[in-house]
Structure 1
């Protein structure tokens, strides 16, 4: 009788819903640093935070406000975005969902250009990256980093709570649920590929 050894992969997921405003970028960076500290993956925080910053900046450009400080009553479903960190086994995924169907495009940049380097940075730091179109709608732009050590959060029943100012919290409702469903679909699709 032969016993087949199977590899067990752990799954860690943390997500946050935000309003697509410029201040979402530093909030997303802090979310990455706090989550990876909790998962004991501090060594990956700088690269993951930079990738998250670039992906969130693109989502803000695609669906966000042009003004720095929109009034709460100006926030609509169109302005909701979601960010997610997902560690599956030895892979860490940085994921950003927004409602826009427009794909980000790598731009040709010159040495003098002040912007347009975001996806080039993501491509340089990530093992792989791409765009996923969930059945729930919108798009998820993702980047993956290979891990040399596995996440090891304390198994004390605690959860990581990142306090977000109330005026930056995405409004509750169908679009927030759409973002959660879209990100969860990406998790499930990833699990199907593993199994």
Structure 2
């Protein structure tokens, strides 16, 4: 089954307003239908191709040369025509821009008349049509865009169900435990006390005797002097 690639965006091509412009426009639309995966031989595609041919022919008649060589003549200034097309699941839209500000007019042309039936054919084939003023750079004078749209009933193609995998929580890889370094306790600094003068004195009975003897001597000396 053909996969449809309908994105709804406009694709465009610029053509010289020369006699072969309608043929080039039809080729562009056929190639685009193929890229979208649409058959170029069904009724909607054939109607769009015929309407586009008439629209481009009118644009060439209004702004360029519709007879003679298909190549530009020496010193001939050739106008530009832009063809745009977009497709979606609802239908097909075709637009043609030229640098003529004159809007298309529906005329009562006879069946054997060569020109003047383009608008009648266009509005007969299309579901909707219209025109609007539009300036296309680098042009400075306003031109116009003529558009037609076609509706179609494409079979609904259900997309293939996507394979949904259950979510798996992320897991950290198991790493081997690293050896821990034993924390060494730093011993508290021992306070250094200044040496006590009295602690350096010797202790014992001999010391007490010396003190007693010194005290008696000092007392005796004091009594003798008085």
Give the structure-2-normalised TM-score: 0.57
Q: Which residue does 1:144 correspond to in 2? A: 149
Q: 1:116 to 1:37 in 2, by over 3 A?
A: same
CA–CA distance in structure 2, aligned partners of residues 23 and 10 of structure 1: 29
Superimposed CA distance per residue, residues 122-155 of structure 1 (whole angstroms, 9 cap, x where no aligned partner) = 11111110102225431100000012128x9xxx
Establish whether residue 34 from structure 1 lines up as the match of residue 31 from structure 2.
Answer: yes
RMSD value over aligned CA atoms? 2.4
Q: Secondary structure at the match of 1:83?
A: strand
Tell which has more relative contact order, 1 or 2 (C-alpha 8 A, sep 6+). 1
- Residue 11 (structure 1) aligns with: 8
Gapped regions of structure 2 (runs ≥ 5)? 1-5, 137-141, 158-226
Superposed CA deviations along residues 82-141 of structure 1, whole A, max 9, x for unmatched, are: 001112441211100001001121110224423322111111111110102225431100
Name the counterpart of 1:103. Answer: 103
With the length of structure 1 as denominator, give the TM-score of the two structures: 0.65
Residues 72 and 13 of structure 1, relative CA distance in 2, 3 Å threshold: farther
What does 1:53-132 correspond to in 2, within 5 Å? 53-65=53-65, 67-69=67-69, 70-71=72-73, 73-76=75-78, 79-132=79-132
Contact (CA 8 Å) 2:92, 2:149: kept in 1 or not? Answer: yes
Give the 3 Å change call, closer, same or farther, for CA 73–134 of structure 1 in structure 2.
same
List structure 1 segments (4+ residues) > 3 angstroms apart after TM superposition. Answer: none
Contact 2:135 2:144 in 1 (8 A): no
Structure-2 residue corresponding to 1:24: 21
- Secondary structure of 1:71's match? coil
Q: Report the count of equivalent residues.
A: 142
Q: 1:41 to 1:80 in 2, by over 3 A?
A: same
Structure 2 partner of 1:184: none
1: CA distance, partners of 2:87 / 2:77: 31
Change (3 A) 1:103 1:89: same
Q: Which has the higher helix share?
A: 1
